[in-house]
Amino acid sequence: MATSSVSKGCFVFKPNFKKRKISVPVEDYFNKGKNESEDSKLRFETYQLIWQQMKSETERLQEELNKNLFDSLIEFLRKSYSGFQKSSRDWGCQIKLREIPTAALILGVNVTDHDLTFRSLTEALQNNVSPYVVSLQAKDCPDMKHFLQKLVSQLMMDCCVDEETKEGSIQVAQKKTHCSMDSLSSWYTNVTRKTDPKMPRKKRTSSSQWQSPPVVLILKDMESFTTKVLQDFIIISSQHLHEFPLILIFGIATSPIIIHRLLPHAVSSLLCIELFQSLSCKEHLTTVLDKLLLTTQFPFKLSEKVLQILTNIFLYHDFSIQNFIKGLQLSLLEHFYSQPLSVLCCNLPEAKRRINFLSDNQCENIRRLPSFRRYVEKQASEKQVALLTNERFLKEEIQSLLENLHVYHSNYFLVLRCLHQFTSSLPKYPLGRQIRELYCTCLEKNIWDSEEYVSALQLLRMLAKDELMTILQKCFKIFKSTSEKQLGSTAKRIEEFLAQFQNLDEAKEEEDTSGSLSKGLQKTDLYHLQKSLLEMKELRRTNKKQTRFEVLREKVVNFIDSLVREYLLPPETQPLHEVVYFTAGHTLREHLNAAPRIALHTALNNPYYYLKAFATVVTAAEKMDADSATSEERNEIIHARFIRAVSELELLGFIKPTKQKTDHVARLTWGGC
Amino acid sequence: MPHLENMVLCREPQVSTLQALFGERHHFSFPSIFIYGHTASGKTYVTQTLLKTLELPHVFVNCVECFTSRLLLEQILNKLNHLCSSEDGCSTQVTCETFNDFVRLFKQVTKAESLKDQTVYIVLDKAEYLRDMEANLLPGFLRLQELTDRNVTVLFLSEIVWEKFRPNTGCFEPFVLYFPDYSIGNLQKILSHDHPPEYSADFYAAYINILLGVFYTVCRDLKELRYLAVLNFPKYCEPVVKGEANERDTRKLWRNIEPHLKRAMQTVYLREISSSQWEKLQKDDTDPAQLKGLSAYTHVELPYYSKFILIAAYLASYNPARTDKRFFLKHHGKIKKTNFLKKHEKTSNHLLGPKPFPLDRLLAILYSIVDSRVAPTANIFSQITSLVTLQLLTLVGHDDQLDGPKYKCTVSLDFIRAIAR
């Protein structure tokens, strides 16, 4: 698409529908122009399946997390609605009735997530409170007229769908031209009167209990509304409140002070504001990570780098769960797209089935995997030969390796959670407060080599008895929740430890001094801890005899240490980890954290990039009639067009030639321009 | 008119002036009357009760609701229609686009039998909104009597003085009537008037006396005082209900209610907590300090870089650009201390308010205050935009200026301090 004009301006291009229809099926993009043999179709299907599962899981999580908030909101709405109904002759009620019940909903600065929250909120309200739920955005309401128009059209649309009356919709069209609060309230009385006898037949049993359900108006982004619109609307609707029961919900991203900043006292005195706070987005992230990544439910895993990039974007840039999940989706897609062996990234039985159908090419791919090569090198020489030459033997071996990988993961997460229980209560959090930090460290390297781990163990050796016991109990629960064979014994061990501690209690230590010492150390700062640590060492040197509690504690810590050393090996040590781990952090960063200024800078420094970009755009635009000319011929034409366009731009003054001396090769090739 | 005097308290001179202006039903009245006074000084109430009790044909329109002139004019005509054809019961919607149409239609409507030979009153409440509508509207209404040649009087109610209304081109001068603020005695009288039926008037009057003693210094708004009176009355009665005190035991009652009212002044009066929450507190008898008000939630959780962007924006807004080199560069060379600051810069920048700064300066400061290297990624730019939508920064100038946009930081020092922690 191009025009002959070079002037600055907008041109309308009507899309050519004929061309659009020749679309490639999506899974074909997975081919990468290579041969079919790498199961691209299967990979795409697997991707879709896993993504669907992950998506539904996140949606379920979201619902669960929002439930508390929504319940309290609905409770508030119910209460304030019953306030409307209380048409008592009560003294004082006449004055207070003028207040519009308002819920100030603080949602945090992650604006991109709000849409989803509001959508589910609307649904919940429509099911539980009132069919009349309207949500407005600031950009739709620059003034009162648009505000009311939007309100009316949304309300009446809802209602028309409800009643399936055609007359209503015709009226809407007429009324759209002039809608005022008067017409709105008369519409409301009409509708409620009309629907009253019909109500019992409706499905919405809970809302039908109420004769005249209130109208709930959600203002999605309170901050962006102009003062005047809000003010006027609140004044008007408070005057109509007796015939038009309105409830407001303010969506606030920052802090509720914004209400005072937007509304003068005369207006805010018309509202009866109650505050509701949603879950912090960091907690939300923790749950999402917990349910999507720290589990064997989904075979797909992220490498340390990728996880770090995703969490960094979340913590440093936007706090947006939606974006995080998008990033996760992208890495999933990228993994299935770029790694041919990702066909095996599915649940274990299915993967075993698929191994049998692996092509020769794929077997070769497996042999080329670095982790597999390392594994082979460790084997006896006959086995090495067999693995490298015999396909059937290889396939059997892969089956067992995959099984090992699966077991590795299930153990890994259990031990990780257990270790997190221990380290999350330590002062100063040497291994991080959140499990994701611990997970990142464990993914990166052997955690027991790090200084933090050593200091954490030191601190663990100083835990008081009751603390230690609560932690052990939690760990016991973690281990008991699964029925893994190997770790079943671990649960038993922990139980034994617990019993021993209990016995200690019953046996009544004669050495009270040590007990009181350890109890005194419960929570102090690092400096004091180190000091007392030194003291303890001294003490131990002087009288080497330890109390029974100390011996036992030492045992527990050593036990944990051995668990960590055995099960928290970094994934790189596992053969075939490439199948499930996505490692290409740089592509992810390129896609998610683009740097326009840097790109621009490189482009401006080197005209060759211009040319490339130009060529790409032109070929994309003219792709369909590509077959007419050979590629070389086309390249030349594109060059010529590029040079001409550059000189046209120069003539118009958009670009300027540098004073740099032209390279003589370039001068010879390009001539004057 | 003893009936009217009972209903309208402390506004006798105004009422008598208005009655004198209205005259007999068939008399032509003054074409336009402008009534102004502070919030809750009884303008609307007095006019409404006067017109109702005298049973004069009138139309009452609130200008806030009519955000276009068309809505305003149509509403007046429709109500008039309703007024004269209430016996028939039929009412058709009138469409009226311009003031010219209005005058024509008004003439038609007022031909009706029921409106003949008596003054029709049009009351425009919150008349200050008329100024924002078409320029011909206000002068038109001012001389509606003359334009329509009908017996009509337009009353304007406003909180703003007439001088602020007068158009440049000149207009018909209305009769200006001022409603002064209620004095403390007036307030006492009016508030005591609506005592609850269960208690004696004296008991309630004593309560109002205490209430005014606390609130009169901060609030003279009658509506607000009434609201507070209703809200806190149960607490006042509490000792009487419990049987601990007599209705005449003023001193005891005062000791009970006074700290309560003072707390109310800091919370409910400012709408920090809502009336329903306040009532619940009263019922449960818990300490209001437990319930945090709206302003208590000042903390805003921001992403890591957003915090730095905001801090950088604050620095850019309140420091002169000259000093950037000194503050943010490692080797900035020597600066003579004596005349470093120019004279006008010696006044605190916080008193002058934030100054606009270009995007590049913001980024430069950002790079120097963040410890690690920051790449100018698209995310950073989108964060700046989202800070603008959150109203923590504002875009100065037109938003279609794509290269070199300028911003201002709108948050306070306390906010920045809380973030920087």
HSE-up (13 A, CA, CB side) for residue B34: 22
Which SS3 state, helix, strand or coil, does residue A364 take? helix
The residue-averaged pLDDT of A52-78 equals: 90
For the ranges A200-214, A501-515, A550-564, A631-645, which has the lowest average pLDDT? A200-214
Taking CB atoms and an 8 Å cutoff, what residues of chain B touch A598? 375-376
pLDDT tens-digit map of A463-494: 888 888 888 888 888 887 766 666 767 778 88
For B175, list phi and psi in degrees, rounded to 5.
-80, 120
Please report the pLDDT score of residue A325 as a whole number.
92
Q: Mean pLDDT across chain A, nearest whole number?
A: 78
pLDDT of residue A20 exceeding 70: no
Please report the pLDDT score of residue A97 as a whole number.
58
For the ranges A97-101, A284-288, A429-433, B178-182, which has the lowest average pLDDT? A97-101
Task: Name which of B65, B364, B114 is nearest A180 in CA terms.
Answer: B65
pLDDT of residue A607 exceeding 70: no
Please report the pLDDT score of residue A612 as a whole number.
74
Cβ pair A223:B294 closer than 8 A:
no
Cβ pair B390:A223 closer than 8 A:
yes
The residue-averaged pLDDT of A122-140 equals: 88
Percent of chain A with pLDDT over 70: 75
Supply the ipTM of this predicted assembly. 0.87
Residue with more model confidence, B343 or A65? A65
Taking CB atoms and an 8 Å cutoff, what residues of chain A touch B71? 178, 180
Please report the pLDDT score of residue B158 as a whole number.
93
Please report the pLDDT score of residue A186 as a whole number.
82
DSSP type of residue A318: I
Q: Which residue of B has its CA nearest to A108?
A: B301
Instruction: Answer for the pair B43, B72: CB distance below 8 angstroms, yes or no.
Output: no
Mutation target among B65, B298, B308 for the A interface, most CBs of A within 10 A = B65
Please report the pLDDT score of residue A164 as a whole number.
46
Cβ pair B275:A259 closer than 8 A:
no
Q: Is B395 exposed, middle or buried (0-12, 13-18, 19+ CB in 10 A)?
A: middle
Cβ pair A273:B271 closer than 8 A:
yes
Q: Which residue of B has its CA nearest to A223?
A: B390
Which SS3 state, helix, strand or coil, does residue B179 take? strand
pLDDT tens-digit map of B18-28: 989 888 888 88
Please report the pLDDT score of residue A640 as a whole number.
82
The residue-averaged pLDDT of A322-348 equals: 89
Instruction: Answer for the pair A673, A646: CB distance below 8 angstroms, yes or no.
Output: yes
pLDDT tens-digit map of B42-85: 899 899 999 988 888 899 998 888 888 888 898 898 888 888 76
pLDDT tens-digit map of B278-300: 777 777 766 655 666 777 777 78
For the ranges A213-227, A592-606, B303-317, B337-351, which has the lowest average pLDDT? B337-351
pLDDT of residue A154 exceeding 80: yes
Instruction: Answer for the pair B328, B364: CB distance below 8 angstroms, yes or no.
Output: yes
Please report the pLDDT score of residue A512 as a whole number.
45
Please report the pLDDT score of residue B34 as a whole number.
93
Please report the pLDDT score of residue A546 as a whole number.
64
pLDDT of residue A404 exceeding 60: yes
pLDDT tens-digit map of B308-323: 999 999 999 988 888 8
Instruction: Answer for the pair A92, B191: CB distance below 8 angstroms, yes or no.
Output: no
Please report the pLDDT score of residue A18 as a whole number.
44
The residue-averaged pLDDT of A611-638 equals: 67
Percent of chain A with pLDDT over 90: 7
Cβ pair B378:A258 closer than 8 A:
no
Which SS3 state, helix, strand or coil, does residue B60 take? strand
pLDDT of residue A522 exceeding 60: no
Taking CB atoms and an 8 Å cutoff, what residues of chain A touch B230? 91-92, 95-96
- CB-nearest to B390 from A253, A269, A317 is A253
A–B: how many Cβ contacts below 8 A? 151
Cβ pair A317:B227 closer than 8 A:
no
Q: Is B221 exposed, middle or buried (0-12, 13-18, 19+ CB in 10 A)?
A: buried
For the ranges A470-484, A553-567, A606-620, B349-363, which has the lowest average pLDDT? A606-620
pLDDT tens-digit map of A160-169: 554 444 444 4
Task: Name which of A467, A551, A469, A472 is nearest A511 in CA terms.
Answer: A551
Residue with more model confidence, B347 or B405? B405
Distance from CA of B275 to the nearest CA of A (A): 6
Task: Name which of A439, A352, A407, A438 is nearest A575 in CA terms.
Answer: A407
Taking CB atoms and an 8 Å cutoff, what residues of chain A touch B299? 255
Taking CB atoms and an 8 Å cutoff, what residues of chain A touch B194? 91
The residue-averaged pLDDT of A518-529 equals: 60
HSE-up (13 A, CA, CB side) for residue B187: 26
A621 token code pair: 């635009």
For the ranges A9-23, A225-239, A455-469, B145-159, which has the lowest average pLDDT? A9-23
pLDDT of residue A516 exceeding 70: no
C-alpha to C-alpha distances, B172 to A618, B63, B136, nearest whole angstrom: 69, 20, 12
Pairing type for strands B406-409 and B393-396 reads antiparallel
Strand locations in A425-474 (E): none
Q: Mean pLDDT across chain B, nearest whole number?
A: 83
Q: Which residue of B has its CA nearest to A76?
A: B276
For the ranges A424-428, A596-600, B361-365, which has the lowest average pLDDT? A596-600
